[in-house]
Amino acid sequence: MGKKVLDRAALKKVLSQQRLHPSVPDIVVAIINLTSSPSTSINDLVRVIERDQELSTRILQISNSGFYSFKRKITTITDAVILLGWNTVKMISLGSTVLKRISEKDSKLYGHCMRTALIARFLAIEANFYKVEEIAVVGLLHDLGIIILELYFNEEFLISKQYALDNSVPIHIAERKFLGVDHAEIGGWTLAEWQLPENIIESVARHHSFDPDTYHARKTAVIHVADILSMAVDFAGPSWEKVPEMAPSALEMLGFHEADLKDLILTCMRMKFDPLIL
């Protein structure tokens, strides 16, 4: 079995017809539109978020969770926007919606996304990144493309998963074989539709095809390494998932070497798994 069941053009055409996808509520669409305007103020964004009590509560819960570990309690949406930044609040709004769907549909994938986010945050701190919290949320969203495939192309995705299991190859290799594209790139398409910055789009879209010569390679390196370390330490991960090879150049870009991998894996295994409140 090796024939494509879909191709890249057909898949992208179907997805382009789904405006922001049905899993994204109107309030998040409003936030996307608002944060895309150069004339929007913090007060404008706060007013929109505060109109939705459920989303407001979720943002405050996530901001005060062990995931961020701020020294003081965040009590207002204004505090959350100032401390986390516009893009991170936008990504939390999107990510919490997506993660809620993941937690309901696929608990193992939810666990993997959480672990990847925590490891990405650790790597970003070690590598002296400025926007550590933003990178952590990118880790939460890095496998968004899998949810999109399960929503719109579940039968074709199941074929890819079975091939990955039967042939002991990473799922993204099987996806490219049968769909002409992998879930990372599909996630990138979706984030582009959500009007997120190019550096975030690239780090998701290329987390299975790391290239040190791309413009945002350093941020992509964090997600690439975090994703693989997350799979390496997750003994209860999906049965169809094989741990992909890690690009040595990604490690080096973050200030590590292949000799550091054993210590990195041990550190990740000791991390406290503190799931977000959804």
pLDDT tens for the chain, residues 1 to 278: 556 666 777 777 777 666 545 556 677 777 777 776 778 888 888 898 888 888 888 888 878 877 677 778 899 999 988 888 877 787 777 766 666 666 677 778 888 888 998 899 999 999 999 878 788 888 988 998 998 888 788 888 999 999 998 998 999 999 999 988 999 999 998 888 777 789 989 999 999 999 999 999 999 999 999 999 999 887 655 555 678 899 999 999 999 998 999 999 999 988 876 655 44
Name the DSSP letter for residue 211.
Answer: -
**Choices 3.30.565.10, 3.40.630.30, 1.10.3210.10, 1.25.40.10: CATH for 8-270:** 1.10.3210.10
| Cα–Cα distance for residue pair 133/67, rounded to 1 Å | 9
- Entry pTM: 0.81
Calpha distance 243→83 (Å, rounded): 35
Interatomic CA distance for residues 127 and 131, integer angstroms: 11
Asked if 251 contacts 258 with a C-beta cutoff of 8 angstroms, the reply is yes
Asked if 159 and 177 touch (Cβ cutoff 8 Å), the reply is: no
